[in-house]
Amino acid sequence: MRILRTSCGMEIRWHDLVGSTNDEARLWAEQGAAEGSVVCADEQSAGRGRRGAVWICPAGQALAFSQILRPGMPRALWPRLALVIGLAVAKTLEMHGLAAEVKWPNDVWVAGKKIAGLLLESSGDVVIAGVGLNVNVTEFPQEIAGIATSMRRETGIEYDREDLLVGVARSILSHSRRAESEFSDLLAEWRERCALSGKRVSLLLCNEVHIARVHGIGERGELLIERNGGIEALLQADQIRPLE
């Protein structure tokens, strides 16, 4: 394990191999790790995505990390962190010349393909923000080759993962701290990058597939869909896929 310390005092523990960076970060948080601390790994043996999905992260080519956050806002407002952190990742990618979009509730897209995913888990007064970001990946498994991309595939540039990690982690910490007092401003920025607004989508609700048109994002960060002649607000949905 390597230990990195940034100029702003953030500590990063970089492992060759762990089971899950989220699990490692949770244990570290229980031991008193400071807010903003990061666990990163070149490879995870039990990495996971939202709803228990497996996150594919090629060793040494991507970033798989988890950041410890200690929100000062009420627990009822914690769900907004998923949007805010996705925005932080997207804006970091924009600094590297990529036109990034955010897909409700927890993905970042470039050129219509997934480039990053988020997994937020809470434990006590701590939120663990897990991020998987495709950095220098050049080849993907056949099952996701048509829907995934990487920074290198989009720009042709090979990136320094350590420098990139520091930049993303700083952005996440900054945006998460703004989430309580400046959420409306951050939400406006999120809406500007929304990948689904106005599009017909299929989505899984209570194990049933439904077709709807995305109307936008509500003031609490909920997904607004137009269906059966009315507007519905969803706080949770699965397998949201654009149809156009």
Q: What is the CATH number of the domain that holds 74?
A: 3.30.930.10
Helix H or strand E segment including 180: none
Domain termination residue (choose one: 150, 169, 192):
192
The model's confidence at residue 8, banded by pLDDT at 50, 70 and 90, is confident
38-55: average pLDDT: 73
The reported pTM is: 0.93
pLDDT tens per residue across span 51-73: 555 556 677 899 999 999 999 99
Residues 129 and 211 in one domain: no
What amino acid occupies position 75?
Answer: R
16-21: average pLDDT: 93
Mean per-residue pLDDT over the chain, rounded: 92
pLDDT tens per residue across span 69-90: 999 999 999 999 999 999 999 9
Do the bridges between strand 113-123 and strand 126-134 make them parallel or antiparallel, or are there none, so unpaired? antiparallel
Asked if 83 contacts 221 with a C-beta cutoff of 8 angstroms, the reply is yes
- How many whole angstroms separate alpha carbon 16 and alpha carbon 14? 7
Residue 6 or residue 133, greater confidence: 133
Residues 37 and 99 in one domain: yes
Residues 188 and 215 in one domain: no
Q: What is the CATH number of the domain that holds 224?
A: 2.30.30
Q: Could you tell me the residue range of the domain that residue 231 belongs to?
A: 200-242
